[in-house]
Amino acid sequence: MALTKTTEITSLTFTERLVCYAQLFKIRLTSFVVISAIFGYFIGAPAYNVSEIIFLIIGGFLITCASNAYNQVIERNHDKLMKRTQNRPMPLGKLSIVEAVTVASLFSILGVVMLWLLNPLTGILGLLAIAMYVALYTPLKRVSTISVFVGAFPGAFPPMLGWVAATGSFSLEAGILFAIQFVWQFPHFWAIAWKVNDEYTKAGFKMLPFGKKNTTTAVIILLSVVALLISGFIPEMVGMCGRITTVGLAILSLLMLYPAIKLVQTKDDKFALRVLLMSYLYLIVSLTIILIDRII
């Protein structure tokens, strides 16, 4: 039987509960975060350690799941107003607030402890990522478009966290990994916001520059792609990587640049979608290129 808004939480089967938690934790997004951290680890590691990798994967997975769960608990009433989120477990009442918060808290503690066991700095970064995402970014989404800027900080942590997990220290290279993914956040999230701006507005979220799908906003998205293109030259400039990285990251940025230009010209949602799809490609392929370049 299909679950409805009136379904009792105790009537969930084991499989249905697993599905609810997969939605609560945003498993696909969480996977991208963990993969980014793993890449950061291998980019920074002179030699890898299997136990460290396992701790990084589990710790990163737990803190990301916890952040997403807290976010959905806080936004449950707003998620009811958007088609893309109204069928999440919290708006439908499939999971209780107490249960979701309890699990998120347990995951937070275990995740931070596992990262701390790698080294204290990694644990601190994990704790800071949760705090910034839940206590700053989430409430700011209903206050100001500056939320995207604030949210870009924890969003850019994964590869840097992986580097710190491998080396035990912060460095210029870790900062560059952070900077590239920080800049990447803007075209990525603004492309999402462009696509669902009407729903965001209905739910009270202020995510798009100036809150409108107009030429000015499209130009800002274009400029963010240009900034990403420029950031791709930094690794070679500081000696972190070679020409392979510069060329590879430039090509990935150009794949985003064309639809961004078309978005300015047409304000057509399909070009925002293409920017979004290319941003996903950029996220993983860019780290792959950097890793390969450092190995060879």
pLDDT in tens, 193-230: 999 998 998 888 989 987 789 999 999 999 999 999 99
Q: What is the pLDDT of residues 268-294, one digit of tens each?
A: 999 999 999 999 999 999 999 999 999
b (16+ CB within 10 A) / e for 209-221: beeebeeebbebb
What span, in angstroms and rounded, lies between the C-alpha atoms of 162 and 104?
A: 22
87 three-class SS: coil
What span, in angstroms and rounded, lies between the C-alpha atoms of 214 and 162?
A: 38
Please determine, for residue 4, whether its predicted confidence score (pLDDT) is greater than 60.
no
pLDDT for 104 equals 97
Instruction: Give me 283's structure tokens.
Output: 């996220």
Instruction: Give me 217's structure tokens.
Output: 């906003």
Please determine, for residue 3, whether its predicted confidence score (pLDDT) is greater than 80.
no
Whether 220 and 258 have beta carbons less than 8 Å apart is answered as no
The stretch 92-109 carries a mean pLDDT of 97
Burial class (CB in 10 A: 0-12, 13-18, 19+), 103: middle
Q: Where are the domains of the chain?
A: 10-164, 171-296
CB atoms within 10 A of CB 84: 13
Quickly state the pLDDT bin for 10 (edges 50, 70, 90).
low
The stretch 112-116 carries a mean pLDDT of 98
pLDDT for 7 equals 42
Whether 24 and 100 have beta carbons less than 8 Å apart is answered as yes
The stretch 181-189 carries a mean pLDDT of 96
Alpha helices in the chain (DSSP H): 14-25, 27-44, 50-74, 76-79, 89-92, 97-118, 120-131, 138-140, 146-155, 157-167, 172-195, 197-203, 215-231, 234-237, 243-266, 269-295
Q: What is the pLDDT of residues 142-165, one digit of tens each?
A: 999 999 999 999 999 999 999 999
b (16+ CB within 10 A) / e for 121-154: bbbebbbebbebbbebbbebbbeebebbebbbbb
pLDDT for 1 equals 32
Please determine, for residue 80, whether its predicted confidence score (pLDDT) is greater than 60.
yes
Please determine, for residue 8, whether its predicted confidence score (pLDDT) is greater than 70.
no
pLDDT for 2 equals 39
- 50 Cβ neighbours under 8 A, 6+ residues apart: none
What CATH number labels 10-164?
A: 1.10.357.140
Please determine, for residue 6, whether its predicted confidence score (pLDDT) is greater than 70.
no
pLDDT for 127 equals 97
DSSP state of 211: G
Q: What is the pLDDT of residues 17-57, one digit of tens each?
A: 999 999 999 999 999 999 999 999 999 988 889 999 999 99
Q: Report the percent of the chain where pLDDT is more than 90.
A: 87
Rounded (10°) angle between helices 120-131 and 50-74: 20
What is this structure's pTM? 0.90
- 229 Cβ neighbours under 8 A, 6+ residues apart: 249, 250, 253, 254, 257
What span, in angstroms and rounded, lies between the C-alpha atoms of 29 and 65?
A: 9
